[in-house]
Amino acid sequence: MSNWIDACSTDEIDEEDVMRFDHDGRTFAIYHSPDGEFFATDGLCSHEKVHLAGGLVMDYMIECPKHNGQFDYRTGEAMRAPVCVNLRTYPVKVEGERVLIQVA
């Protein structure tokens, strides 16, 4: 059974930016790509559990604010050391002006 959660409004995140979203004791990161799409990943870096919402977004990459490791937020793939464990990604859909993520 799918569980879609209303995370935010589409206008809450500028293009090429990220925001933190907490739900049910978990932290997620919601991204607004340069082509207008929305993506979601775990909200904590897989390296030292730092909140990714404090990081720098460039194109399709999120850079962890602590050690500058980078992930492709579309796939969760770890792209630059010291991160080596991928982020979990979550399906996203937009309904009207709302961004929803699917969590298990």
Residues 71-97 pLDDT 10s: 999 999 999 999 999 999 999 999 999
Which pLDDT band holds residue 104 (cuts at 50, 70, 90)? confident
Task: Tell me the CB-side half-sphere exposure of residue 59, using CA atoms within 13 A.
Answer: 4
Residues 28, 22 contacting (CB under 8 angstroms): yes
Neighbours of 48 (CB within 10 A): 12
Starting at the earlier edge strand, list the strands of the sheet with 61-63: 56-58, 61-63, 70-72, 78-80
d(CA 77, CA 85): 8
Residue 86's pLDDT is 97
Q: Quick one: DSSP state of residue 86?
A: P
Residue 70 has pLDDT above 90, yes or no: yes
Per-residue pLDDT, averaged over 35-41, amounts to 97
Which pLDDT band holds residue 12 (cuts at 50, 70, 90)? very high
**Full-model pTM:** 0.94
